[in-house]
Chains A and B, each alone.
Chain A
Amino acid sequence: MKRLRLERWSGQLFTARSTPARIRPCCLRQQQAALPPRIRFSSSAAVLHDDLIMEDGEELDEESSTSNTNYPSPPLEAAFNSSKLAALHARLNLSQKVPLQTMARTLVDPSADSNADFNNAALANLGGSIMSYHVSEWLLCTYPRLPMTVLFAAAYAYSGPKTLQLVGKEWGVETAAAPGEEVDPGYLQFSKLKPGQALQSQGGSIRPDRKSYYRRGISSRVVYDDEFGDTVSKQAESDLPLPTEHAYASFVKAVVGSVYLHSGSAAAKTFVTNHILSRYLQIASLFQFKEPVRELSRLCAREGFEYPVARILSETGRRSRHPVFVVGIFSGKDKLGEGAGPSLGEARTRACVHALKAWYLYSPGANVRVPSEMEAAGAKEWEPVHIDIGEVIH
């Protein structure tokens, strides 16, 4: 994963820019000098005043124009008066260093408020990288032999949008019916898809493929695609309505990002470990083999084991309507796996799957060291962890 140079830009986020007095108050302001100014009919109305001539010829009174502005998301002060938000903060057991204003901001999706100073896009981006970093390092060090496809599926299971939606709901966060200034900041705000509305395309992917039917190999997915092996859309941020699970996902990521910014990397890691990695997943159930017998024989050839042989261990009712065969797969004198099935072929296939899962799911233990542990002060010297060479057949 790319190293994040957060020290540089977190400082920018915290320091308030010398802004005109009438600009919308905001807790974490980004430097946006390089970006072209966005036209906003709400808060930037005052900027457009000079060129604006009203029909009746009178100049618009500045005070009245600002008091009538409707912001697309709740104002900052509302964060202090929201009991929902305070309860959410306490429920997540967050440190007092994470202010309520930032918590309020994590609940505003770009589809609700397109202004990058007020939505959670930046925080979600940051939190998403931190989360995927901790999930992937934990998966790689704990299960060093997982095939790449299963690794993608495991990363999806831990930090994919479906799971993050579950996490957000288990935190007790509800969605607002529609985003707006008057909404309690304790609700998740995004513009919802209408029933039957199709998802808008995000303008293609960043892959250099010309045609959509080109094969996406595993190596190219590692290089071009995201942490789940899915294509990354060209348009990173969009104001279009989005499915609920994506809004929840960016909220959970933004919470991780805000914990990182305000409390530091150790706190963010603890947060990810407690809320994401502590969830239950049987990685063995993520495998789907196409040709397990061939794969096992290739594995034995690669590792220099003897050629695998299937032998019947026990059987019953061979001539009956429902026979059961128990078949073991042996490499020399070592039994690699065992399976039971209603036919000899089925039992052999299951035995091969068992043997392959036993190989792929090798783990040096749940408490294996991960690279991020080196960030702690006085950490022991790093011993390289074992990572396998990968799949047997592609």
Chain B
Amino acid sequence: MVVQGIRKATVGQNGVGAFILQCKRLDFHYCDWAGSSKGMNSFLKNSLTKFAALNPQVEITVSPRPRRHPVIRGTYINGREKAICVRNLTKEQVLQKAELLRDANGEKLKKVTKPVKSINESVRGVWSPYHDGGIHV
């Protein structure tokens, strides 16, 4: 056995092949009493069933959070959480926030400066000073 095999694990590329939505769970917290939950309560009564039916891959829980502002909390596959306070928002704005959390991937927001991010090797290769004639001084 002159050639040995090194054991490694493959790296997932979500979207190449199968796509897994990164948002696992959305928790909707509301308050029955406070006025800041008005839009949230209206969302829960009128739009949540449709939203849940359209997004079956997200587990949805609804729970009260008395005397507090309404919050939507997303749990992601990478283990992170994102929470958005939806106080005083209308039903439509709450839906927008829920969709924002659903589409997020759970990672911290960062500035994207490069047009392409890839784990593939460069097709062109790295420039080498020892090839193509080199520099003659």
A residues near B, CB below 8 A?
83-84, 86-87, 89-93, 147, 149-154, 156-158, 160, 162-163, 166-167, 169-172, 186, 218, 273-282, 285-291, 294-295, 313-316, 324, 326, 340, 356, 360, 391-394
Contacts and interface: CB of A to CB of B under 8 A. Distances in A.
Contact of A86 (B3, B6, B25, B56): B56
A149 B130 contact: no
B122 interface: no
A391 to B, nearest CB: 6
Contacts of A281: 8, 10-11
A-B interface, 9 closest residue pairs, ranked by CB to CB distance from nearest: A278-B17, A153-B5, A90-B56, A279-B10, A274-B17, A91-B57, A274-B18, A149-B5, A90-B57
Interface in B2-26: 2-14, 16-18, 20-21, 24-25
B130 to A, nearest CB: 4
A314 B131 contact: yes
A16 to B, nearest CB: 29
B20 A171 contact: yes
Contacts of A171: 20, 77
B134 A314 contact: yes
A163 to B, nearest CB: 4
A157 B10 contact: yes
A151 B1 CA distance: 13
Contacts of A356: 3
The interface residues of chain B, by DSSP majority, are classed as: loop
A353 B74 CA distance: 49
A316 B20 CA distance: 51
B7 A316 contact: no
Identify which of A172, A186, A394 gathers the most chain B CB atoms within 10 Å of its CB.
Answer: A172
A91 B17 contact: no
Contacts of B109: none
Contacts of A218: 1
Nearest to A391: B3
B9 A157 contact: yes
B121 A282 contact: yes
A313 B133 CA distance: 10
B60 interface: yes
A87 B59 contact: yes
Contact of B9 (A90, A91, A163, A282): A163
Given A91-B20, A170-B77, A172-B24, A316 B130 contact: yes
B6 A288 contact: yes
A349 to B, nearest CB: 13
B123 interface: no
B2 A291 contact: yes
26 contacts: A84-B59, A92-B18, A149-B1, A149-B5, A150-B3, A150-B5, A151-B5, A153-B5, A154-B5, A170-B12, A273-B17, A278-B13, A278-B18, A279-B10, A280-B10, A280-B11, A281-B11, A286-B6, A286-B8, A288-B6, A290-B2, A314-B131, A314-B134, A316-B130, A326-B130, A340-B130
